[in-house]
Amino acid sequence: MDHSERISRFQSEAMAFEKAVRRALDPGEPVPTVPSCPGWTVSDLVAHLGGVHRYLAHVLRERLAAPPDPGGLDLPQVPAAPDERTEWFAHGARELAELLRELGPDTPVWTWSAEQTSGFWLRMQLIELAVHRWDAQSATGTPGPLDRAVAADAVTQTIEVMAPARRSWKAAPAGTGERYRFRSTDGPENWTVVFEGDAVLRECRPAPEPAPEPGPAAPADVEAAGTASDLALFLWGRLPATALRVTGGDAALLPHWFTLVPPV
């Protein structure tokens, strides 16, 4: 996906999130909890996502080269009334999308990743918004799957960016050569990840064109298959390991992924 495609999908996910929240925040009814976010209600989810959008809008608008102190930011207070809170979210999402469109993908700006660009934030926020849209829908019914292109990108991003970051943030145990392989059942992608000591070695093949004469793939300790959406939602801790189909190796190693890559 290029920058403009990501912005279009971000806007679509924002509208879907807003619709799910309006359905959940029925006046006069208790605010529903979010099953996939223990301890959170839908109101908490809206406050979280709207706050993140405004924090990042400040980073982008000011072209910051270092993270700001959240305590020093003069951000609008989250409204208490459900309709006002939902509109507050929608306004923040629109503002962030407009800023990202204006800046393009290559504006230098602080991020928590090695990639210090505005494009990093769009990629990250599209994925996070799609997952939280799924969360919001799950509060009142059966959530729709992630867009396939977004989901495939989320798997790649999780393996290449989030896994090493989470291991460093949470002081995860050293890898002992564990090899995981994830295969998409609704597209050509497959991803192999090896944990060696502190390193996360990626063997991602998101491109649809295989090598002309590929050699035999090294066996994986566990190989799991699912739609790109199911793979992404598993890696983001939304679906259990049983939602994937183990096609090789030891299925008991799938939950071990979250020991090697601790949730945040």
CATH of the domain at 197: 3.30.1050.10
Task: Look up residue 44 and give its amino acid.
Answer: D
Residues 55 and 184 occupy one common structural domain: no
Phi and psi of 199, rounded to 5°?
-90, 145
Residues 162 and 129 occupy one common structural domain: no
Q: Residue 223, Cα to own-chain centre: how many angstroms? A: 22
Range of 190's domain?
Answer: 149-260
**Looking at the 3D structure of the chain, how many domains does it have?**
2
pLDDT at 211: 41
Residues 115 and 62 occupy one common structural domain: yes
CA distance readout (Å), 161 to 10, 27, 50, 164, 249 = 20, 40, 23, 6, 25
CA distance 118 to 100: 7
List the structure tokens of 123. Answer: 């990629």
146: left (phi over 0), alpha (psi -120 to 50) or beta: beta
Residues 120 and 179 occupy one common structural domain: no
Residues 175 and 207 occupy one common structural domain: yes
List the structure tokens of 17. Answer: 């999130």
CA distance readout (Å), 195 to 154, 168, 175 = 19, 13, 5
pLDDT at 207: 47
Residues 135 and 157 occupy one common structural domain: no
List the structure tokens of 101. Answer: 């469109």
pLDDT at 217: 67
Residues 137 and 155 occupy one common structural domain: no
Per-residue pLDDT of the chain (264 residues; tens, 9 = 90+): 999 999 999 999 999 999 999 999 987 889 999 999 999 999 999 999 999 999 999 999 999 999 998 777 878 789 989 899 999 999 999 999 999 999 999 999 999 999 999 999 999 999 999 999 999 999 999 999 999 999 999 999 999 999 999 999 998 999 999 999 999 999 999 999 999 999 999 875 554 444 433 444 678 999 999 999 999 999 999 999 999 999 999 999 999 999 999 998
Choose one of 105, 127, 144: the last residue of a domain: 144
184 beta partners: 226
Q: In CATH, what number is assigned to the domain containing residue 52?
A: 1.20.120.450
CA distance 151 to 143: 14
pLDDT at 80: 87
- For the CA atoms of the chain, what is the radius of gyration? 19
Residues 140 and 166 occupy one common structural domain: no
Residues 80 and 181 occupy one common structural domain: no
pLDDT at 204: 56
